[in-house]
Structures are given as structure tokens and as C-alpha cells.
């Protein structure tokens, strides 16, 4: 595999930064939607190359961060039961629930396994017919096709000991929630390249029209992000508000239609709770009634578990771009990666974790 260093070239990065500076005549607030982009911005120091007028605020696109506490508690409840193999992407295991995290459940004997794909979890289910195998299906549109495929496959092959705990959320409704908020500061978006690889970008046309904001589909490497910023700033400076595609090497207008069909076959759109933000209408997926037998919430009778979020943590405001991690009084003291108060400190894609890991020592020097 090639194409890594090509997108990290320091000379080209500097040229983009100079070009952005040249066209910038006034302040602009841009939001990068995806946690992977936030991570790259802080890891490579991309924001340090930008002129002062450009402020990047970090968006809600970290799947670990927005998964409600209640779902984590449900996961812990399932994973603690005998006869269950609980499978998940690695990130989720360290997210604190109300009283403990999944790693602690594992330490107490829970059979919890990290997998790289839900199809690996299906394989585990086949190999362990006497166990119930549950996969924690979190994420945005990016992970939905593989999760849909896992359930589809189980139905085809009549595998009955597999189910998924669904916490799927969708990007466009979250962007609309941010734009429609009276306290919104965001003037332009770098949309999440991976999400658009699946979904295409036609969903964004109504948003650019209604809210008069430019939306640039953007990749994850430093040069991608700098080019995305450039395209977004250029639109703002020229008074345009269009959908543009920076990440054309991966994203097409219509997206991956096969993946979209698979999602529509298995999931339906419903209201979902977002951690720190609250309920957003039409903002997530649940399994359709045809696949209800694979829904872990039904299988394990979890409806009774209801948890309220802690009020100490400002991750909700951070996820909406209203505050920066340094503005939280608990940042770096009461809240750190060993003892996270909220999910934005836990996930490697969370804004607080990225700030802690890459620039904690600058706390005094960086304006909030």
C-alpha cells in the first residue's frame, strides 16, 4: 500500500497554508465533522499552520464519544452475563459506564473480545453454538454496512446465537442540529470523507441551501485537510455555499450503492440519543422488524436500564463546537485518559484525548 507520505509532504503543506493565508480576509469558523480529522489536525499540528483568522472547531463525529452512557451500561450488563461472548471494536472497552468499563468486566471474568470486523464476531458465533455472541454495533454510516452485512449473513445462514447491540448514528442530522442551534458559530463544514465514501454527498445539498453554509467533503491526511480548509475558505470569501468534494479519490456523488442497499435492507431510521447532546430526531438506525431477532436489546430484555449523564463533563458542548477542551475546568486534572469523566477523553478520536495527548503542556500558552 502506498499513498501515505504523498499526503504528508511538508513543502506542499506549507504551500497550501500560504495559499489559505493569501485568500483569507476575515475570520471564519470551520468545523471538521469527523473525529479522525480532529485527531489528524492535532497530531500533525495542522491548525498551527493556519492563519489566526481561521478557527477550527471539533465536531460530533467520534462514534465512541456520542454513544450514550445508557448503551455502555447495557453493554456491561450483557457482557457480565454467563454464557455470553461480547465482541467490540477496541475503542469501546475503555469507555466508562455509570460504575465501570468493559475492561473491568473482562478482568472479572467476562468473555469480552476485541474484533476488527463484525464478520469476525459472526465467525465466533459459528464456532461457539452454545454461547450467545453479541457485537457492539456503534458508529456512523461508515460502519453500518458491515454491521448490516453481519446480520444479513446470520439470517441467510440461520445463525441464531448472534445479535448486535445497536448504537448507530447519522452525520447529516447532527450537522443540522448544530446549524439550527441559536448558539451556533459554525460557518462552514469539512464533511467526513469516510461517511461520504459510503453515502455519497447528495444529503448535504438541502443543508447548504437552507443554512447557507459551504460543505466540503474532506479526507484525513494533512494535505486533504488543508485542501478542504482552502476550498471552504474560498467559498466563504467568495460568498458561495456549495457542496464540494475534496476527497474525490474515494468519494463519489452517489456513494457506494451496494452498501447503501444493504443498510436499507437491515436498518430503519429512528430518533437516537447522543451522549452529551441529547435526542436528535431521525438521527440513527435500528434493526427493522424483519431482523428484530438479532437485536440484543430484545434478546436480553434491557429496556429497564436507564442512565442519566453526569453534569460535570462539558463533552456535549465540545461535540457541538461550542467549547474547546481547555475551557473545561476538569481538563487534565480531574479528567484525564486514566480517569475520564466523559467519552471525549476516552476515545483516541475524542477532542479532549487528542488535546491531552498532543498538547497538554501548552495549556497555558494556547488561547482557549
Asked whether 93 and 104 are in contact (CB, 8 A), the reply is no
SS (H, E, C) 194-213: HHHHHHCCHHHHHHHHHHCC
Residue given cell 441464531 in the structure block: 160
Residue ranges in 36-65 that form contacts with other proteins under rule CB under 8 A = 36, 42-46, 48-49, 63-64
Which is closer to other proteins, CB of 128 or CB of 160?
128
CB of 212 to other proteins, least distance (A): 30
* Residue 3: its H or E element: none
Among 103-111, 127-135, 238-246, 267-275, the segment contacting other proteins (CB under 8 A): 103-111
CB of 46 to other proteins, least distance (A): 7
Which of 37, 143, 163, 187 touches other proteins (CB under 8 A)? 143
Count of chain residues binding other proteins (CB under 8 A): 52
SS3 264: helix
Decide: is 1 part of the binding site for other proteins (CB under 8 A).
yes
Which is closer to other proteins, CB of 14 or CB of 81?
14
Which is closer to other proteins, CB of 2 or CB of 26?
2
Compute the CA torsion angle 221, 37, 167, 105 (nearest 10 deg): 90
Compute the CA torsion angle 132, 261, 243, 5 (nearest 10 deg): 60
Residue ranges in 106-125 that form contacts with other proteins under rule CB under 8 A = 106-108, 114, 116
CB of 88 to other proteins, least distance (A): 9
Half-sphere exposure of 60 (CA within 13 A, CB side): 29
In the chain, % helix, strand, coil (3-state, to 5) comes to 45, 20, 35
Residue ranges in 63-102 that form contacts with other proteins under rule CB under 8 A = 63-64, 89-94
SS3 218: strand
Which of 24, 87, 142, 163 touches other proteins (CB under 8 A)? 142
Which is closer to other proteins, CB of 143 or CB of 163?
143
Which is closer to other proteins, CB of 89 or CB of 189?
89
Among 3-11, 150-158, 234-242, 299-307, the segment contacting other proteins (CB under 8 A): 3-11
CB of 159 to other proteins, least distance (A): 20
How many residues in total does the chain contain?
368
Q: What are phi and psi of 211, to 5 degrees?
A: -110, 0
CB of 339 to other proteins, least distance (A): 7
Which of 68, 97, 219, 222 touches other proteins (CB under 8 A)? 222
Asked whether 163 and 299 are in contact (CB, 8 A), the reply is yes
SS3 19: helix
All cell numbers assigned to 28: 471564519
SS3 245: strand
Which of 13, 170, 266, 280 touches other proteins (CB under 8 A)? 13
Decide: is 104 part of the binding site for other proteins (CB under 8 A).
yes
DSSP result, 271-323: EEEETTTEEEEEEEEEE-GGGGGGBHHHHTT-TT---PPPSS--HHHHHTTS-
Q: Could you list the residues that contact other proteins (CB under 8 A)?
A: 1-2, 4-5, 8-10, 13-14, 36, 42-46, 48-49, 63-64, 89-94, 103-104, 106-108, 114, 116, 138-140, 142-143, 194, 222, 336-339, 348-349, 356-362
Amino acid at each position: 500500500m502506498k499513498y501515505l507520505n504523498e499526503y504528508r509532504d511538508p513543502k506542499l503543506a506549507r504551500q497550501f497554508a500560504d495559499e489559505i493565508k493569501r485568500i483569507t480576509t476575515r475570520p471564519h469558523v470551520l468545523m471538521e465533522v469527523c473525529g479522525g480529522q480532529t485527531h489528524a489536525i492535532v497530531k500533525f499540528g495542522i491548525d498551527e499552520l493556519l492563519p489566526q483568522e481561521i478557527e477550527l472547531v471539533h465536531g460530533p463525529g467520534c462514534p465512541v464519544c456520542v454513544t450514550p452512557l445508557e448503551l455502555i451500561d447495557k453493554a456491561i450488563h450483557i457482557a457480565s452475563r454467563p454464557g455470553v461472548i461480547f465482541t467490540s471494536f477496541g475503542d469501546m472497552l475503555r469507555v466508562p459506564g455509570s460504575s465501570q468499563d468493559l475492561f473491568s468486566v473482562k478482568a472479572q471474568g467476562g468473555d469480552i473480545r476485541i474484533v476488527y470486523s463484525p464478520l469476525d464476531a459472526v465467525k465466533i458465533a459459528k464456532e461457539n453454538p452454545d454461547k450467545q455472541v453479541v457485537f457492539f454495533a456503534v458508529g456512523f454510516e461508515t460502519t453500518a454496512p458491515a454491521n448490516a452485512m453481519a446480520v444479513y449473513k446470520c439470517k441467510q445462514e440461520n445463525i441464531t446465537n448472534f445479535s448486535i447491540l445497536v448504537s448507530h448514528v447519522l452525520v447529516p442530522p447532527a450537522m443540522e442540529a448544530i446549524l439550527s442551534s441559536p448558539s451556533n458559530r459554525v460557518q462552514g463544514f469539512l464533511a467526513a470523507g469516510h461517511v461520504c465514501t459510503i453515502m455519497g454527498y447528495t444529503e448535504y445539498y438541502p443543508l447548504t441551501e437552507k443554512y447557507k453554509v459551504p460543505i466540503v467533503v474532506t479526507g484525513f491526511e494533512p494535505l486533504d485537510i488543508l485542501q478542504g480548509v482552502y476550498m471552504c475558505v474560498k467559498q466563504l470569501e467568495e460568498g458561495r455555499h456549495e457542496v464540494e468534494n475534496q476527497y474525490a479519490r474515494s468519494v463519489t456523488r452517489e456513494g457506494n450503492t451496494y452498501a447503501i442497499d444493504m443498510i436499507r435492507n437491515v436498518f430503519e431510521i429512528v430518533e437516537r440519543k447522543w451522549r452529551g447532546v441529547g435526542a436528535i430526531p431521525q438521527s440513527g438506525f435500528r434493526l427493522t422488524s424483519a431482523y428484530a431477532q438479532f437485536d440484543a436489546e430484545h434478546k436480553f430484555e434491557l429496556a429497564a436500564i436507564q442512565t442519566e449523564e453526569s453534569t460535570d463533563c462539558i463533552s456535549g458542548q465540545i461535540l457541538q463546537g461550542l467549547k474547546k477542551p481547555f475551557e473545561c475546568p476538569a481538563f487534565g486534572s480531574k479528567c484525564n485518559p486514566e480517569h475520564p469523566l466523559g467519552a471525549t477523553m476516552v476515545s483516541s478520536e475524542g477532542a479532549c484525548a487528542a488535546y491531552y495527548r498532543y498538547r497538554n503542556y501548552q495549556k497555558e500558552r494556547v488561547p482557549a
